[in-house]
Homo-oligomer: A and B are copies of this chain.
């Protein structure tokens, strides 16, 4: 688990953690069916409170990325082959829109935006 938390960041710790777990899954370094470390183990590993890790896990549950089996552990859901839910798709677009608008206003061209998005995809999936 190659996770690094920056306590001084303006991004909450539980968000940093959730994002990095999502990245690891996108990269294929964590796969569907894999178990995440226990909240206590990961909290100790990251020198962070148990409740903070717990909050990250539940955010991932809320996004539909993992499932938690009480008294047992957290398990990564397989990446759905049926494609993305309409609801999730809409949520992604709503998150994307303000960032793209900001990029345009700051002088980034549409071509550059597409190019950077591709770079990120290559970085994550190797495509």
Contacting residues, chain B, for A92 (C-beta < 8 A): 99, 102-103, 106, 108, 116
The answer to whether A121 touches B125, judged by C-beta atoms less than 8 angstroms apart, is no
Count of this chain's copies in the oligomeric assembly: 2
Q: Is A1 an interface residue (CB 8 A)?
A: no
Known: A93-B120, A116-B92, A117-B113. A82 touches B107 (CB 8 A): yes
Interface residues on A, range: 35 or more
CB distance from A105 to the nearest CB of B (A): 5
The segment from A18-26, A36-44, A50-58 found at the interface with B is A18-26
A30 and B105 CA atoms in complex are apart in Å by 11
Q: Which of A81, A102, A113 has the most CB atoms of chain B within a 10 A radius of its CB?
A: A102
Give 1 or 0 for each of A47-88: 1 = CB within 8 Å of chain B CB. Answer: 000000000000000011100000000000001111111001
Q: Is A34 an interface residue (CB 8 A)?
A: no
**What is the interface of chain A, defined by CB distance below 8 A to chain B?**
19, 22-23, 25-26, 63-65, 79-85, 88-89, 92-93, 95-110, 112-114, 116-121, 123-125, 127
Known: A65-B106, A93-B116, A116-B92. A100 touches B121 (CB 8 A): yes
